Amino acid sequence: MIVKLFGVTREIVGGPLLEVNDIATVGELKDYVMSTYPGIKKLNSLMVAVNSEYAKDDLTLNENDEIALIPPVSGG
Amino acid sequence: MIVKLFGVTREIVGGPLLEVNDIATVGELKDYVMSTYPGIKKLNSLMVAVNSEYAKDDLTLNENDEIALIPPVSGG
Amino acid sequence: MIKITDQPLNTQAIIDSMASPEGGAVNVFIGTVRNVTKGKQVIRLEFEAYEPMATKELTKIMEEAKRKWPILKVAVHHRVGVLDISEVPVVIAVSTPHRAAGFEACQYIIDTLKQTVPIWKKEIFEDGEVWVAAHP
Amino acid sequence: MIKITDQPLNTQAIIDSMASPEGGAVNVFIGTVRNVTKGKQVIRLEFEAYEPMATKELTKIMEEAKRKWPILKVAVHHRVGVLDISEVPVVIAVSTPHRAAGFEACQYIIDTLKQTVPIWKKEIFEDGEVWVAAHP
């Protein structure tokens, strides 16, 4: 699965996309990126968007979902 | 003394200026115009401005003051 | 900063005049002539001002707003004369470092303007006309 | 109504699009790039958006605002890319029959935008840079 990255998460990972494998749920994805990239763990918050909607931790991920990490937003 | 008139008071009196005599205070001026022009008495409120400032009833009027009747305002 | 005029108001010029390097927010209130009041069709409005006193009262309102909020720039332009539906009688703009103060200050200014500034509005209907707020 | 663009925002066009015969008030919020944050000199800002999701979240905010207030027209334009001091990252405009609802709705939209819309801002200083709100 490909995960889109923005803002500070893009800079921490070092690119706009991250490939992950064997991840079943949103919660697992969060655990994986936080343990793999300690910089992400230090953020104020981390959300995951699935198909352009904020997703809960128990949501199951599918291969063709559009998945994105959402670090703390700061628009406006 | 000349009194400037605006809005509804200008229409009630029938012109932009009103000449009054033997008026000593703001309160007397209000009493005079309300008794002379019953339409003014029917207004929601009547203020008097002296030299471009809202004036209290006990203020003494002088011949060279700029005096105006201020019916209820409705700008904006 | 304060303008009372019988010419159309230039909203963009007013907004441009708010530019300030310390500013983070500009709040703008634009009054527009509505086609209906209390269920009745309005044809046009007519505004009249006691100009020197209106300017004086607006100055007081702006000074009071500056005391209450950290305002960088502020402008109030009011039009007089005949205005058709959708035309703009008033534009108020406030520039502040942060947005909350801008919303509060701008609302304070228009609310107070309507209470104290000697400007009068006549609504013209098909079958008559009314000086707004004049009668109970 | 919603626009996310790397081009300068056209405030006057947004305001013009608010025209409505039933409208009595237009409230406009214009965000501007401030030269200082927490006492530190800012050189420029960089904005980045997750565009399809940002549009979706903005649509939700506008729909919720329309449920809460009698809104005639509403627009939110947000710029992305590099912005210098005094440039405009965001313009929000709301047209309502009466002014109180316009102030409330416009403030609701900017407040909620800052909480939920996936747009990120990096502050560039002389000696470094910071993603706003990212860290405690």
pLDDT tens string for chain A (76 positions)? 999 999 999 999 999 999 999 999 999 999 999 999 999 999 999 999 999 999 999 999 999 999 999 999 999 9
- Render pLDDT for C61-107 as a digit per residue (tens, 0 to 9): 999 999 999 999 999 999 999 999 999 999 999 999 999 999 999 99
Chain D residues lying within 8 Å of C15, measured CB to CB: 11, 28, 30
Strand partners, C130: C123
The single-letter DSSP state of residue A5 is -
Is the confidence metric ipTM above 0.90 for this complex?
yes
What pLDDT does residue B37 have?
98
Domains of chain B: 2-70 (3.10.20.30)
Q: How far apart are CA D10 and CA C12, in angstroms?
A: 10
| Residue D119, min C-alpha distance to chain A (Å) | 5
Task: Tell me the pLDDT tens digit for each residue of D107-136.
Answer: 999 999 999 999 999 999 999 999 999 999
Strand partners, C27: C94, D29
Chain C residues with beta carbon closer than 8 angstroms to that of B53: 53, 56
SS3 per-residue string spanning chain B: CEEECCHHHHHHHCCCEEECCCCCEHHHHHHHHHHHCHHHHCCCCCEEEECCEECCCCCECCCCCCEEEECCCCCC
Residue D20: closest CA among chain C residues belongs to which residue? C86
pLDDT tens digits for range C45-66: 999 999 999 999 999 999 999 9
Closest CA of chain A from D12, distance in Å: 19
Confidence tier at C26 by pLDDT (50, 70, 90):
very high
pLDDT of residue C38: 86
Q: Which of D31, D35, D103 sits opposite C21 (nearest CB)?
A: D35
Q: Which residues of D are less than 8 Å from C97 in CB distance?
A: 34
Q: What is the DSSP string of chain D?
A: -EEEESSPP-HHHHHHTT--TT--EEEEEEE---SEETTEEEEEEEEEE-HHHHHHHHHHHHHHHHHHS--SEEEEEEE-EEEETT--SEEEEEEESSHHHHHHHHHHHHHHHHHHS-EEEEEEETTEEEETTS--
Which residue matches tokens 């046009």? C44
CA distance C136 to chain D (A): 21
Residue D41 near chain C (CB below 8 Å): no
3-state secondary structure of C12: helix
* C contact chains, 3+ CB pairs < 8 A: B, D
Mean pLDDT of C124-134: 96
Is D24 in contact with C12 (Cβ distance < 8 A)? no
- Pairwise pLDDT comparison (D68 vs D38), residue with the higher score: D68
Question: Is residue A23 a contact partner of residue A61, using CB atoms and an 8 Å limit?
Answer: yes
Q: For residue range B60-71, what is the model confidence (pLDDT) as tens digits?
A: 999 999 999 999
- List CB contacts of D57: < 8 A, sequence separation 6 or more: D116, D117, D118
pTM to 2 decimal places? 0.96
Touching, B vs A (3+ Cβ pairs under 8 A): no
- Delineate the domains of chain C, giving CATH numbers in brackets: 2-127 (3.90.1170.40)
